Structure 1
């Protein structure tokens, strides 16, 4: 299956999505940045695919994932994260052997995992979606330097979910952001085992 980053982005920013409890989301939105009770001591996962997060959070219905935030970050920060990333699996074409991967993984500030992308109803597609785990060494940088905007898109997510349940998938799809392939330079693509555009 194809591994490509698909995202909503412009010349300087890319949008990623995170699901949180109301307490974390409300505090972040009030402050315009992540603050306590957001955890600065454990890895935080960011995903440019909204549908993958909808599959994971059951359209914002899982406990502690009831609020969906769209987080605009700088493309420079995003690519800085990818440049430090280590895959969550020992891909031989990237690391050569499991021992080399294990050593890199233990030291990594960022983890990258590829999972099957999802349809509106959660069925797996024939291409992969990326999720990026920002480790605690970089979380302050993520919060203080990379983030340029936070938006609560939970109402939109709930409207889309209701339309899907009512059999109006086309209307639901029109509510969701357009995502397109995010091109990477060859070195970054090799590092995270991504394919080029097709």
Structure 2
């Protein structure tokens, strides 16, 4: 099956989409317990969310990297997610999309969200030949994410460790069966046209 070069693949329901983040237990444990980010979570800093579970595993080393030991599945509203896409700027300059480098830099500075397309990963966390979305939220977007869009927060660290153990044991079939079911996210092409670089 041919995968599109850039696509949003995610676990989603009628009104929500799941994104992943990894934090220190100081943030992750109370966030999962209370279903909202604790006061120590900084709303004025950029935060990156990833719809791809395996890309998150690559980033946090299956929940073993320092300050990324707690892996969270954050269910947010699809309306919020699509607002973020609509107001996003690519994190890199693309001549076909931007009038010039200065215009892109102005747009990047003003946009509350950023998009990066990074190589998707397989169970061994090796890069695949197609890319998945990373979404950076700052300013208004970070505040909306924490205070309006978040529907639920689950600690999926045990799942990450279980899948990792199966991968280490060479049982990739069993590991694959435990992965969250991610499908192409249905989004209007116009919503992504400015983010295709």
Alignment TM-score, normalising by the size of structure 2: 0.95
Hey, what does 1:110 align to over in structure 2? Answer: 113
Cα distance change of structure 1 residues 6 and 153 upon mapping to structure 2, 3 Å threshold: same
Higher mean C-alpha displacement, 28-37 vs 44-53: 28-37
2:146 is aligned, of 143, 147, 162, to 143
Matched, 1:189 2:192: yes
Q: After the TM superposition, which residues 55-74 of structure 1 pair with which residues of structure 2 at under 5 Å, given as runs?
A: 55-74=58-77
Q: After the TM superposition, which residues 1-198 of structure 1 pair with which residues of structure 2 at under 5 Å, given as runs?
A: 2-193=5-196
- Structure 1 residues 64-88: Cα deviation after superposition (integer angstroms, max 9, x where no partner): 0001100000000000000010001
Q: 1: CA distance between counterparts of 2:46 and 2:27? A: 15
Whether the 8 Å contact between 1:27 and 1:37 is mirrored in structure 2 is no
Whether the 8 Å contact between 2:85 and 2:191 is mirrored in structure 1 is yes
Q: Which runs of 5+ in 2 are unaligned?
A: none
Offset of 1:138 from its aligned partner?
A: 2.2
Q: Kindly report the root-mean-square deviation, in angstroms, between the aligned alpha carbons of the 2 structures.
A: 1.2
Question: Helix, strand or coil for the counterpart of 2:48?
Answer: strand
Alignment TM-score, normalising by the size of structure 1: 0.94
Q: 2: CA distance between counterparts of 1:186 and 1:164? A: 36
Q: 1: CA distance between counterparts of 2:52 and 2:145? A: 18
Whether the 8 Å contact between 2:29 and 2:155 is mirrored in structure 1 is no
Q: 2: CA distance between counterparts of 1:166 and 1:176? A: 16
Offset of 1:30 from its aligned partner?
A: 2.8
4+ residue runs over 3 A deviation: none
Offset of 1:26 from its aligned partner?
A: 1.4
Question: Helix, strand or coil for the counterpart of 2:97?
Answer: helix
Q: 1: CA distance between counterparts of 2:130 and 2:60? A: 20
